[in-house]
Amino acid sequence: MDGNTEKISISSLIEKGKVKRRFQRRLIEKSIPVLLFMMAILSIFTTIGIVATLLVETFTFFQRVEFLHFLTSKEWFPFFESDPQYGIISLISGTMLVTVIAMAVAIPIGLAAAIYLSEYASERVRKIVKPVLEVLAGIPTIVYGFFALTFVTPVLQKIIPDLNFFNALSPGIVVGIMIVPMIASLSEEAMGAVPNSIREGALAQGSTKLEVTIKVVLPAALSGIVASFVLAISRAIGETMIVTIAGGSRPNLTLDPTETIQTMTAYIVQVSLGDATYGSTIYYSIYAVGMTLFLFTFIMNLFAQWISKRFREVY
């Protein structure tokens, strides 16, 4: 009798343990989607909050400064007491000048690195080079900024004697170096997604390795490559510390890379350091410039998505 009771109690304990584990498993399975949904909602509300803050403060700025003046004036001198000027074109000019220089550096180097890693490098070399590129991407931008100011600029001044100490050329080159890993990594992944059967078919028809790469692999991976370019442009437009340190703080509507310039991000940093009192027009100009920068990067990201969908190859 005691043995039967012991068997019943043990079996009941085992059954209770199974029921408890099933309950815990069902509870976890039901709570995880709820938790993930809450995280997604939190990110959405955060984005809405950021955009709403930009819109409200930007609207306050345009109550004090004419929108047409903001878009068409060629001068940006917000700290003038008598007649302040708020023409965003000079800041956009500096931003675009640095971005063009950066892309002129990053696209050839990044695409060449991607082609080598995807089509020519051995597996051993790829395992060495890719982590090096990732380390390059992980360097803080302020380090790049001081590198541009203390090393790149003096070297360029020996080549270009008329180069100003603060200029667009030096930060443009260094921003280009900074975004090389982004282009190389994304483009290499896009080319790596091209099936080997396509390469083998082209080689079987007598094409050389270079012809296969240029005429077969690159067109097949075009959507990913162009998307990497667009994302890199967005990254260059939004770069802050490099242009703040090495580019200068003088808004200048110019296409001369040897001149001192100021970008949109550099102006935001300048005012954020305490040069403007809360509630002043200069203070609200931060948000107007930030909204302009947001629109630039938003449009570039939409363009990157359109490119990916438009030219995507499905294998």
Sorted by where each begins, the domain ranges of the chain are: 2-64, 76-310
Query: Which two three-digit tokens encode residue 50?
Result: 């950021």
So what's the pLDDT on residue 104? 94
**Helix (H, G, I), strand (E, B), or coil: what is residue 89?**
helix
Which of 26, 4, 31, 169 minimizes the C-alpha distance to 102? 169
So what's the pLDDT on residue 16? 67
So what's the pLDDT on residue 274? 67
- 193 φ, ψ (degrees, to nearest 5): -80, -10
Query: Could you tell me where the beta strands, DSSP code E, fall in the chain?
Result: 76-77, 85-86
Helix, strand counts (H, E) of the chain: 14, 2
Q: What is the CATH number of domain 76-310?
A: 1.10.3720.10
So what's the pLDDT on residue 314? 58
Which of 265, 268, 275 minimizes the C-alpha distance to 296? 265
Spatial separation of the C-alpha atoms in residues 276 and 281, rounded to whole Å: 9
CB burial string 195-228: b at 16+ within 10 A, e below: eeeebeebeeeebeeeebbeebbbebbbbbbbbb
So what's the pLDDT on residue 133? 82
So what's the pLDDT on residue 307? 74
Give per-10-residue mean pLDDT for the chain (315 aa). 53 66 75 83 87 89 87 83 83 92 93 88 83 82 90 91 88 92 89 82 81 84 86 88 87 86 88 74 88 87 77 61
So what's the pLDDT on residue 256? 86
So what's the pLDDT on residue 275? 64
Spatial separation of the C-alpha atoms in residues 35 and 48, rounded to whole Å: 20
